A and B are shown apart, each in its own frame.
Chain A
Amino acid sequence: MVDYKDPKSTIAAVQVPSEGEAGKTGSWRSFKPVFNPEKCILIKSEKARCHICWMFCPEVAITKSRPPTINLDYCKGCGICSTECPHGAITMKKE
């Protein structure tokens, strides 16, 4: 096994997977997604299926949980989740 942390044990430039490779990309945002739980179908009905916001977030900043949560450390504020949520449960607010 290669020990990635030990430069002497590697023969080529090896990159280590890490969150926030570009830093806290949440600081790029000019609009912030605000989750309105009362409108989310997953909260309104126990049986409902959705997670459209999770699927479309290019940033992997939304969890596939009930209800979904948004990681504002990394969310770049693109607004896709807000535009694609069929129930209007995510609104964009100016930072």
Chain B
Amino acid sequence: MMDMIETKRLRPDDLPEQEFLLPGNRSCAGCSMSLYYRMALKALGKKTIITVPASCLTVLHGLYHKTSVKMNVVHTTFETTAASASGIVAALEAKGLGDEITVCGFAGDGGTSDIGIQGLSGAAERNTNFIYACYDNEMYSNTGTQRSGQTPYMAYTTTTPHGKLEHKKNMPMIMHAHGIPYIATSCSSYPQDVYAKFKKAKLFTGTRYIHTLIPCPPGWGFPTDQSIEMGRLAVKSGIFPLFEIIDGKMFLSPESERCLDPSKRLKVEEYLKLQGRFKHIQPEHIEYYQEYVDNHWNFINQFL
């Protein structure tokens, strides 16, 4: 499998021109989910069936009878992304189309790591043949920014008015424990990496999981033109490590390699201070947060 994998670094204009996302959709100005989804669709291509639960992505898809995507999409209920994908896979296999058509579930962080986790875990246990793509804006954005299992420590949401006390749930490693063939983390600020990881995921059979950080300007409280920089800071500070786990073995993505050296990690404060959701944060929280990130890298090191 490894030798089939294209490792060449892509330049922006290497990405295909064909678009499956149409302009004039309902996503907010500067929405990284929109950028991420656009890249993912370029990689998945036309022969794909997508399933999406209630989320910002449903809003982006638009109201009946129009839609902003040129793709085959099923809209499902909040908790059923993986169950719905499993059903689509079963139908395709019964028709002998299982190898021809890619099935991909796209869900928010709430839909994935909170309400949708049991269906996803069941599908991963059966190694059902689909890609599960979680876009992580670290809150329930669609319903007005409530806390999710992916909301980070001390972030303000409407349900954590003094900042969340718990840390982010480590979803990629939960999926790793299921022994599935391909897991990747990516961030919308690196569109070529998003594209390459979806392309790579298509080469595998079985459950594949891609977890992507997508900075959300209104939810996180930063100016719309800073969407790309915010994701870069999350990666450079080591808060959101980019890696792949291929057949059980972890590979750090080049963007995150510098974080192996603690002195090359940007201080978490550089990232936190730019966002309204961390405005109330105190020096002791920042210190604790930094310690947490450094410990997390010790944890990651065990897998390399």
- Complex: how many Å from CA A79 to CA B192? 20
16 extra interchain contacts, Cβ-Cβ under 8 A, other than A17-B68, A73-B23?
A15-B67, A16-B67, A17-B67, A18-B68, A19-B68, A21-B24, A21-B63, A25-B24, A25-B25, A54-B13, A56-B35, A64-B13, A74-B23, A79-B224, A80-B227, A83-B229
Residues of A within 8 A of B116 (CB): none
* B9 in contact (CB, < 8 A): no
Residues of B within 8 A of A49 (CB): 11-13
Residues of B within 8 A of A82 (CB): 225
B70 touches A77 (CB 8 A): no
Residues of B within 8 A of A18 (CB): 22, 66-68
**A-B contact list, 24 entries, CB within 8 Å:** A15-B61, A15-B65, A15-B67, A16-B65, A17-B68, A17-B69, A19-B23, A19-B68, A21-B63, A24-B24, A49-B12, A52-B12, A55-B13, A55-B191, A58-B27, A59-B29, A59-B34, A60-B23, A71-B23, A73-B23, A76-B30, A78-B225, A79-B224, A83-B226
Chain A residues numbered 74-95 whose CB sits less than 8 Å from any CB in chain B: 74, 76-80, 82-84, 92
Residues of B within 8 A of A16 (CB): 65-67
A84 touches B23 (CB 8 A): no
What per-residue 1/0 map shows which CB atoms of A51-69 lie under 8 Å from chain B? 1101111111100100000
A58 touches B227 (CB 8 A): yes
Chain A: interface residue count, which band? 35 or more
A15-B61, A78-B225 known; A21 and B68 CB under 8 Å? Answer: yes
Q: Shortest distance in angstroms between B20's beta carbon and chain A's nearest beta carbon?
A: 9
- Complex: how many Å from CA A14 to CA B17? 27
Chain B: interface residue count, which band? 35 or more
* B15 in contact (CB, < 8 A): yes
Chain B residues numbered 1-47 whose CB sits less than 8 Å from any CB in chain A: 11-13, 15, 17, 19, 21-32, 34-35, 38
A58 touches B67 (CB 8 A): no
- Complex: how many Å from CA A19 to CA B32? 19
CB closest residue in chain A, given B73 = A15
**Which of A21, A23, A79, A83 sits near B22, CB closer than 8 Å?**
A21
**Which of A14, A24, A50, A77 sits near B12, CB closer than 8 Å?**
A50
B64 touches A60 (CB 8 A): no
B225 touches A22 (CB 8 A): no
A56 touches B62 (CB 8 A): no
Q: Shortest distance in angstroms between B108's beta carbon and chain A's nearest beta carbon?
A: 16
A22 touches B25 (CB 8 A): yes
